[in-house]
Structure 1
């Protein structure tokens, strides 16, 4: 039997979020409406989403020795993520300061702290320990770039399907791209990485071609309300977005990638996995917060079943 698990190598943060009617201008102070302190980090969010999809999920990451450690580890464990590959290191747990306005738009400042302690040796050990139980490796770029690149190479060597969510967007060595089976940037990340200003489906397809030219097998450009564009050498397919009323878009991309990875690990075809990711991402925008907004499979499946007929071009 093929392994059905997911390994996430990435960041864990304590998310400190302030909600206000609008975001302050430079130098301005505004009154907020609410405040939350919850588990976050792109890696942790994707691990929770993958676990919610039903996939056995492990996370390789680092946390500090402070009160935030217990908050984030408890959050991961509650959501069903296996913690055997999470290390406690000296110093403080990573923190993200998030501001969200009434329309659901946000800005974020991330302080990596313990996340910067995750190193190549730790990643190699984690992949070796779980490789027989996982089929998909999920990566992001909130850990040190060289560690993420090492994880991609090690994951490919172990025969895993390697999926990179290239956020925050940053330049990667040319030799890393061929180790990536799938990349899932949003329009702004695709713009930064490729130099193509992504504003519509045509420009998204040109950005996707940039990834394929560098050796990536499959590029999925997520476009928010514009849906997602899936591009391989064989075909291009557009998946329309599900219509929802957004409250907070913070973890939409993580919900997409986590559910997408979980669906792939379960043996679903790529198109169906994209539909699961799209539905999860849409539902995540309807609730406030990062990890608290991540939907369960019981919420996602009915939305997927309502249908999404993509247009093949």
Structure 2
């Protein structure tokens, strides 16, 4: 983790990423190809991995700043309002003529989901917009959170800017795709789940041992640490010289949407607040556990009081 980051004064979290509205259907099962079924419920709420992580960081008590784009359609108020309601600063959210990004999510009765994301306004994020954000607030932030729902060139640009500014760089590599190896030495913490780790490394992650092997793939390429999340099996933190297992908190899953975003947002906010990496991971696990017990993306993200209470009970 960057020593310059720990010296930063204000504990801000800068989130560069996607802002969508989530159109979610809930049904007992997912339809087969060409099949129509009757669903049970429908929701329309703020989503997008960037926005979800910003909301989670805001609910965690973090000083969260979102950098992204929304459209000028009927969905833009849902997106912007969801961010501000969570206490996220939106000075660097730009309005683009046209539609806001959309994610179509289907959730079955077991809580599993599939998702189709259409970027739309997110595609208009630019280097100059990122430059403006770093110039205005970069010196007040300790942590960058970013993901892969915006063009890779901009994720990479944000990572380089944050690394050069001394921020702790947390990359959630989702949706997973092959990345330029040159980026890994600039990443302090990469947080793939089992599926994402397998896509990126070619190593099938099925247990703690294979998670450690996948983690070593990232650290051997220069990442400071890899934090492989294993759903109900917890998480494994891997560095070049060590590996540590973190237990999950048992819950009954209703909808797994945004669990990874809750994890990332709480991780970033906790690090920015000065918590140790170990304590930040445990808090992030508690946030993810609460998230899967509720339906939806941003509405399922928990408040810090709930997270800290669950963490205290689990200990």
- 1:257-305 per-residue CA deviation (whole Å, 9 max, x = no partner) reads 0001000000000000000100000000000000000000010001222
Tell me if 1:217 matches 2:217.
no
Return the offset for 1:132. Answer: 2.1
- The partner residue of 1:159 within 166, 169, 173 is 166
Q: For the aligned residues, what is the CA RMSD?
A: 0.9
In structure 1, which of residues 2, 27, 31 is the aligned counterpart of residue 9 of structure 2?
2
Corresponding residue number in structure 2 for 1:49: 56
Residue 171 in structure 1 maps to residue 178 in structure 2: yes
Report 1:171-190 matches (<5 A): 171-190=178-197
Which digits, 9 at most, give the CA deviation of each residue in 1:207-257, with x for residues without a partner?
Answer: 000000111001000000110001112321101110000110001000000
Of residues 60, 81, 84, the one that matches 1:77 is 84
1:36 to 19, 38, 43: 43
Contact 2:211–2:228 at 8 Å: present in 1 too? yes
Q: Which residue of 1 aligns with 2:238?
A: 231
* Structure 2 unaligned regions, length at least 5: 1-7
Give the structure-1-normalised TM-score: 0.97
Q: How does 1:59-78 map onto structure 2 within 5 Å?
A: 59-78=66-85
* Equivalence for 1:240: 247
* CA offsets 1:9-33 (integer angstroms, 9 cap, x no match): 0000010000000011111111000
State whether residues 139 and 165 of structure 2, in contact with CA within 8 Å, keep that contact through their aligned partners in structure 1.
no
Distance (whole Å) between structure 1 residues aligned to residue 176 and residue 10 of structure 2: 30
Q: Distance in 1 between matches of 2:215 and 2:117?
A: 27
Distance between the aligned counterparts of 1:235 and 1:57, measured in 2? 31
Report SS of the residue matched to 1:85: strand
**CA separation in 2, counterparts of 1:304 and 1:269?**
15
The count of residues paired between Structure 1 and Structure 2 equals 308
Contact 2:220 2:240 in 1 (8 A): no
In structure 2, C-alpha distance between the alignment counterparts of 1:12 and 1:233, rounded to whole Å: 34
